[in-house]
Chains A and B, each alone.
Chain A
């Protein structure tokens, strides 16, 4: 586990400042009708670490993801990524800046082959421009380079055997892997994974965890939403807890699990249960 002092600057409390933040959000709110789905006063995500975003269903985690990546527009708020203001920036531009996300319900492009899915993840392919598309020499080299990189990633994620299959033919877990691998094609600085473990066959869980740890070792920052406490406890350096749209707690995993505010948010009346059991309860709630 990472040293806490390396992450937080000053006291550890909801919305606390970080030594080296990569993503900083302030005053971000989003209302649906009368309901404030997201109401984040301040949040900083540490660079080069694995941060888990947890909270009960309906806490606004996915909505916050959507807001930060430009897929939804907040009512108020500012946020910046690596010092660049992101408010109002279109989702594709957010991705190009190096902040790539995945989705809770996997969006593998079913009727494209696995390798084409991967190639689509790469940036700056001149062949993706309309007029250049006609002239193969303009993009053949880049395409070859992209394909090599895609093949390497597929091998790393053990999807190489499925290379030429339609993504529709993959299992749920394989799709999660494909989506993660595809996101890496753009060499992002920050990867945002929305429930990477949801629906994944237990046999694949361990390798997924290893892949996420591998991302950190390669210098990529990871922010993920997850219900699986096992995963949260074992791989995250930092945990942020949301409830009813607000950040209610943050800190290193071991400390956060003991935080009464977290237990309260998660369990309500079942405050006596061990938090390890929450995994099952929330999965059923899905």
Chain B
């Protein structure tokens, strides 16, 4: 078994685009759940709207990168408004059911052939990143980073996606430390108390839902821009569940948590994949096939999520006192 290779593969995930994309989606969820107490189980829907919004604007409307980014974000914001208006006045679990149902409905709509003219149907949309990669300042070539070697496009998408992660993180630090963020935390603790103090709880929850959803849409855009392909099958509820795992891993009421959680999560996935494949290849696991290694990985993810919530609900960085799950 080549441990050097396993190590390099695993370390490469530290700066992976998917790591950044999940970190963004989990930062959005941190806004929703960690700082406001909103149970959003439809983050896949927000990310999908970002991805399809960008691809649609770029391909079908011919908009440039900025316009496409904006369009994706607006789609997610509108989705948040539509979901929030009826449900944010109700008990928390209604939002959970409505968001997961709406995200799943979106997944069906994006995948059907009926609207293939807009969404590409089951083929999805591809080659929409021309303008995005047109801004690439890195000259064509291969770049050796020590552990991995990347093309100029791979470097560019990494710079942009991690730049976005940093930008969003700073934004959230500013917001959560402001009186606005204090009000949200109050709502997380007890809505009625905050209401009795003269705050319009509904408006705050809506702002949080929109902001977290828009951040999630950025994750979706980054996710599909790396390969310039976007297909409905990416945006299944498993995407949401993985994002929750990432969030809880790092700590829901923290900002560094989702970022580190995402890195650890993807390194874990890559490491188990490479390590188990290595074991299978040298014949150490005769009862497993290579194909089954991928399945075991996900089994471990599920187990991980369970153990995490049971034994360390505050994640790596969370303050045990600050995050208890209400209800």
Direct contact of A and B (CB under 8 A): yes
B322: nearest residue on chain A (CB-CB)? A111
B149 at interface by CB-CB < 8 Å: no
Chain B contacts for A9, CB-based, 8 A: none
| Cβ–Cβ contact A134 & B196, under 8 A | no
- A166 to B185 CA separation, bound complex (whole angstroms): 13
Partner of B185, one of A111, A121, A123, A183: A111
A96 on the B face (CB < 8 A): yes
Cα of A127 to Cα of B178 in the assembled complex, Å: 6
Interface string of B103-135 (1 = CB under 8 A from A): 000000000000000000000000000000000
Nearest opposing residue in chain B for A111, CB measure: B322
Closest to B208 in A: A130
Chain A CB within 8 A of B93 CB = no
- Nearest CB on A from B101, distance (A): 28
| A103/B174 in contact, CB under 8 A | no
Known: A111-B189, A112-B189. A130 touches B180 (CB 8 A): yes
Smallest CB-CB separation from A138: which chain B residue? B178
> Is there contact, CB below 8 Å, between A120 and B182?
yes
Q: If the complex has contacts A107-B193, A130-B180, A133-B175, are A100 and B321 also in contact, measured as CB distance less than 8 A?
A: no
B residues within 8 A CB of A183? Answer: 196-197
The answer to whether A151 has its CB under 8 Å from any CB of chain B is no
A91 in contact (CB, < 8 A): yes
Q: Are the CB atoms of A168 and B321 closer together than 8 Å?
A: yes
Interface string of A82-117 (1 = CB under 8 A from B): 000000001111011000111100011111100011
Q: Please tell me the number of chain B residues within 8 Å of chain A, measured between CB atoms.
A: 29
Question: Interface code B182-194, partner A: CB below 8 Å = 1, 0 otherwise?
Answer: 1101101110111
Report A-chain residues with C-beta under 8 Å of the C-beta of B195. Answer: 71, 91-92, 95
B residues near A143, Cβ cutoff 8 Å:
179
Does A69 sit within 8 A of B, measured CB to CB? yes
Is B137 positioned at the interface, with any CB of A under 8 Å from its CB? no
Instruction: Report whether A91 and B196 are in contact in the complex, using a CB–CB cutoff of 8 Å.
Output: yes
| Residues in B neighbouring A182, C-beta threshold 8 A | 197
Which listed residue (A90, A121, A133) contacts B174, Cβ 8 A?
A133
A91 vs B197: C-alpha distance in the bound complex, in angstroms?
Answer: 9
Asked whether A274 is an interface residue with its Cβ less than 8 Å from the other chain, the reply is no
With CB as the reference atom, state the residue of chain B lying closest to A125. Answer: B179
Contact A92 B199 (CB under 8 A): yes
Name the A residues within 8 Å of B201 (CB-CB). Answer: 92
CB distance A109 to B196 under 8 Å? Answer: no
Q: Are B321 and A133 in contact (CB under 8 A)?
A: no
Q: Is the CB of A111 within 8 A of B321?
A: yes
Shortest A84–chain B CB gap in Å is: 15
| A186, B182: Cβ atoms closer than 8 Å | no
Task: Decide: A109 and B186 in contact? CB cutoff 8 A.
Answer: yes
Interface string of B168-180 (1 = CB under 8 A from A): 0001001100111
Chain B hits for A168, CB < 8 A: 321
Q: B197 — which chain A residues lie within 8 A by C-beta?
A: 92, 95, 100, 120-121, 182-183, 185-186
- Shortest distance between the CB of B322 and any CB in chain A (Å): 5
* B139 interface residue (CB < 8 Å to A): no
B295 is an interface residue with CB less than 8 A from chain A: no
Does A5 interact with chain B (Cβ within 8 Å)?
Answer: no
A112–B198 contact, CB under 8 A? no
C-alpha spacing A109/B201, complex, angstroms: 14
| A-B contacts, 23 listed (Cβ < 8 Å) | A92-B197, A92-B200, A92-B201, A95-B198, A100-B198, A107-B192, A108-B193, A109-B189, A109-B193, A111-B323, A111-B324, A120-B183, A128-B179, A128-B183, A133-B179, A133-B180, A134-B171, A134-B178, A139-B178, A139-B179, A166-B322, A168-B321, A182-B197
Residues of A within 8 A of B (CB): 69, 71, 90-93, 95-96, 100-103, 107-112, 116-117, 119-121, 123, 125, 127-130, 132-134, 136, 139, 143, 166, 168, 182-183, 185-186
Other A-B pairs beyond A92-B196, A92-B199, A127-B179, 8, CB < 8 Å: A93-B198, A111-B321, A112-B182, A116-B186, A130-B207, A133-B179, A134-B175, A134-B178
